[in-house]
Structure 1
Amino acid sequence: MTEPGDFLRRLFAAAVAAADPAVSLARHLPEPPRGRTIVVGAGKAAAAMARAVEAAWPGEISGLVVTRYGHGAPTTRIAVVEAAHPVPDAAGEAASKAILEAVAGLTPDDLVLCLISGGGSALLSLPAPGLTLADKQAVNRALLTSGAAIGEMNCVRRHLSAIKGGRLAAACHPARVVTLLISDTPGDDPLDIASGPTVADPTTCADALAILERHRIEIPVAVRAHLESGAGESVKPGDPRLGTPDLRMVATPLMALQAAADLAQREGITPCILGDALEGEAREVGKVMAGIARSVAAHGLPLPRPCVLLSGGETTVSVRGDGRGGRNVEFLLALGAALNGHPGIHAIAADTDGVDGLEEIAGAVLGPDTPARAAALGLSLAASLARNDGHGFFEALGDAVVTGPTLTNVNDFRAVLIA
């Protein structure tokens, strides 16, 4: 094995590469239809997915996808629009309207390929009738700092939308709809990937309102009226416009973890995949992971060292401080504080899309020397954790992981190496 930090970075690179649409998408494409083929989609991987479709599709295609600013890719037949994430903007609103226009007036002989990946919920920002973009922005900002789980956030988003929660698939009727998905959600539930634009939604406006109340989120008057009246109800299971759903998983968090495990195995380090759907407060997950790592170091349980503990999923951060947060670096701060320089334990945590929180930084690496190096700069793990300032902390140490846009998104990647 090479230097621990380099080894961990290569594990992360292997995980990201396994989720590249250029590698995995073509084999999931359906047969061309008798009629037209329209390609639409949204998410941080949408442009790369569109490029992969263009490379593999044997016939004529046209369409439009929307991705995050900076996550575009060159295409020739499918238009790519860039918009804001995680707080939506007017560009995403306009792109959503254009997508609905592109699928209007189709026939049973036509095919719609929907390319859906994480981030699509904010990018498909068309408000429901009676709501404004400003309403959606206010709710989104509040959700992002509330500590709400991704499933809760997406439930609310579906009921404030004119395109998510099955509405896009309904707009395609009577054309055949095939949805190609890159999962960024725990459990790979299609309903929660980009808030399920082509998936029937069994949740209700009352559910969305209960989530907002549980997290004590102040909402605009129009949003409360919209939910209380039931005007925001999404497309429900059994709606004839949806037909028989054809949902195909192109890449998932587990695929990425397995790729990293294979690399570790080849380098003589025993991998242990703890799970691909870990949720909860990032700082609490960090404490738990520290306990497991200490058990390996002291007792060889649940497996002997050298080994690497791999996990994925999407944790949450309840913002309390004024720092530069991000759930992966929050996890590392808590992990490092609990380990307190324990010898032989190293870690990486990073988002596979290259963006942790609001920063163009994927995550960071942590080593036994992190606390001492931080102290020399007047920093401490505990103080930075209290301020939610993971990016400020690891950037000062030169330990940030910066990839740029990866053009895929299979959620968070965590690896804890016990040497």
Structure 2
Amino acid sequence: MTTPEALLRSMFDAAVAAAQPDLCVSPSLPDMPARGRIVVIGAGKASAAMARAAERHYGQPLEGLVVTRYGHAVPCDGIEIIEAAHPVPDAPGLKAAGRMLSLVENLTEDDTVLCLISGGGSALLPCPLDGITLAEKQAVNRELLKCGATIDEMNCLRRHLSAIKGGRLAAACHPARVINLLISDVPGDDPMNIASGPTVGDPTTRADALEIVERYRLELPVSVRATLASDRCESVKPGDARLARVETHLVATPQQSLLAAAEVAREAGYATHILGDSIEGEAREVAIVMAGISRQILQHDQPFQRPCVLLSGGETTVTVRGNGRGGRNVEFLPSLAVALGGAPDVHALAGDTDGVDGATEVAGAVIGPETLGKALLAGLSPRASLENNDGHGFFETLGDQVITGPTLTNVNDFRAILIS
């Protein structure tokens, strides 16, 4: 008989498998152009695997350059793969961004740019506007990661501090044809928020970026504030003539992965309910809401009858106040366990589909009715772990981590609550 933990892991694995580049990239690739060059560029945790899928589809080496996270590279025959840091950018990423801009210079109308973008590209492709140093850009990233801003808000600010994001990379490709293949890791699947939209128009303004700075009281370098006060930080807007030959295709989304997981649960005899693929908010607060729904099901068979599985995706946030390592999924789970109070017949898994929760090489963890008791025996306090943002330490001690290694894709967070 399959255990609840094994079933949860099977659902998570199915969600990851549904977004694998080898499966989802090929159907959206264009025919090999009869004239001109085809140049491949890209950035993100899945970009190297996407590049490999493109070469396999065409059956020949391709020219180009993509940037992926350390440990996420796969070999390609012609496309150069560069590894850089995530979530805080580093010098190799900066150098790669400059080389990418040079690579698309002087293209013609006959040329085609194949742009392969997935989550993580914002950090992996840093290219600060003139007057901002890499160290200052790193400082901005650290402020954003700990302040509790949504991914939309983070990316708005990033677009207005970058010489490559917010449509600027597409503008550099003009007049070539640009074909974007995107693996979405953002709530709502808006292309401008996937890797901060380097090859799509950006309707937000520097005024929007400044409002975010003030709302979260971000401590920014003087040069960054000066840049945001200048019109030179404005991004490329929709309708810009340089974007006329850009076409965009979403090849994998959180919803597709949730549907794949739902099929696994149904085959195991569980009614399955997808609560949303774009849930946001503080991870610990989202968990309290999910616990309330679970309790209603346990006590009243409302709004769903047992046995059932509740699935959700999206990108929650963590406002870091303690000394722990953060991580949205390992923040969600202790909060869920505390709110459930050891309720019987409820198990849950939360994990990031790229295999990395926060900045730690752990996808997430699992909980069950026994979690609070195990913690007590181990001398752990779930509430104290939450206050210290130390979910990783909590689940490492319990031995309940979900570790996958690099999955070579990224369709954001996956949460499954199984109610027997």
Q: What does 1:279-358 align with in structure 2 at a 5 Å threshold?
A: 279-358=280-359
Which stretch of the first structure deviates more once superposed, 64-73 or 298-307? Answer: 298-307
Alignment of 1:4-403 (within 5 A): 4-33=4-33, 34-57=35-58, 61-403=62-404
Deviations 1:65-87 (A, max 9, x none): 00000110111111100000000
With the length of structure 1 as denominator, give the TM-score of the two structures.
0.99
Q: Distance between the aligned counterparts of 1:233 and 1:37, measured in 2?
A: 29
After TM superposition, which residue ranges in structure 1, 4 or more long, deviate above 6 angstroms?
none
| 1:281-306 per-position Cα deviation (integer Å, ceiling 9, x unaligned) | 00000000000011111111111111
- How big is each residue's C-alpha offset from its partner over 1:98-156, in whole Å with a ceiling of 9 and x where there is no partner? 11111111110100000000000001101111211111101000000000000000000
Output the amino acid matched with 2:3.
E
**Aligned residue type for 1:18:** A
What TM-score do you get using the length of structure 2 for normalisation? 0.99
Q: Is the partner of 1:231 in helix, strand or coil?
A: helix
Q: C-alpha distance in 2, partners of 1:31/1:240?
A: 25
Secondary structure of 2:128's counterpart equals coil
Change (3 A) 1:241 1:59: farther
Is the contact made by 2:62 and 2:77 (CA closer than 8 Å) also made in structure 1?
A: no
User: Which residue identity is paired with 1:195?
Assistant: S
Write the distance in 2 (CA, Å) between the matches of 1:240 and 1:130: 27
Tell me which amino acid in the other structure corresponds to 2:238: P
State the shift of 1:59 in Å. 6.0
Secondary structure of 1:349's counterpart equals strand
Equivalent residue of 1:113, what SS? Answer: strand
Alpha-carbon shift at residue 58 of structure 1 (Å): 5.1
Q: CA deviation at 1:244?
A: 4.3
Say if 2:355 and 2:405, in contact at 8 Å, map to a contact too: yes
Q: Separation in 2 of the partners of 1:7 and 1:173?
A: 49
What per-residue deviation string (whole Å, max 9, x for no partner) do you get for residues 306-362 of structure 1?
100000000000011111220001000110110011000000000000000110000
Partner SS for 1:171:
helix
What code does the residue aligned with 1:333 have? P
SS of residue matched to 2:152: helix
C-alpha change, 1:89 and 1:204, in structure 2 (3 Å) is same
Q: Give the partner amino acid of 2:31.
A: E
Deviations 1:371-405, CA, capped at 9 Å, x for gaps: 00000011021111111110000110000000000
User: C-alpha separation between the residues in 2 aligned to 1:60 and 1:335?
Assistant: 48
Per-residue CA shift, 1:165-224, capped at 9, x if unaligned?
000100000000000000000000000000000010111111111101100101000000
Structure 2 residue identity aligned to 1:306: P
How many percent identity over aligned positions? 65
CA contact (8 A) 2:279 2:314 kept: yes
- Between the aligned partners of 2:245 and 2:263, the Cα distance in structure 1 is 36
Q: Aligned to 2:217, what secondary structure does the other structure show?
A: coil
CA distance in 2, matches of 1:96, 1:22: 25
- Secondary structure of the structure 1 residue equivalent to 2:232: coil
In the alignment, structure 1 segments of 5+ residues that lack a partner are none
- The separation in 1 between residues aligned to 2:296 and 2:337, in whole angstroms, is 15
Structure 2: gaps (5+ residues): none
Deviation at residue 61 of structure 1 after TM alignment: 2.3
Number of residues of Structure 1 aligned to a counterpart in Structure 2: 419
**Aligned-residue RMSD, C-alpha:** 0.9
Instruction: Tell me: CA distance 1:252–1:98, structure 2 relative to 1, closer, same or farther (3 Å).
Output: same
Query: AA paired with 2:215?
Result: R
Structure-2 separation of matches of 1:380 and 1:149: 28
Q: Does the 8 Å CA contact 1:360/1:404 hold for their aligned counterparts?
A: yes
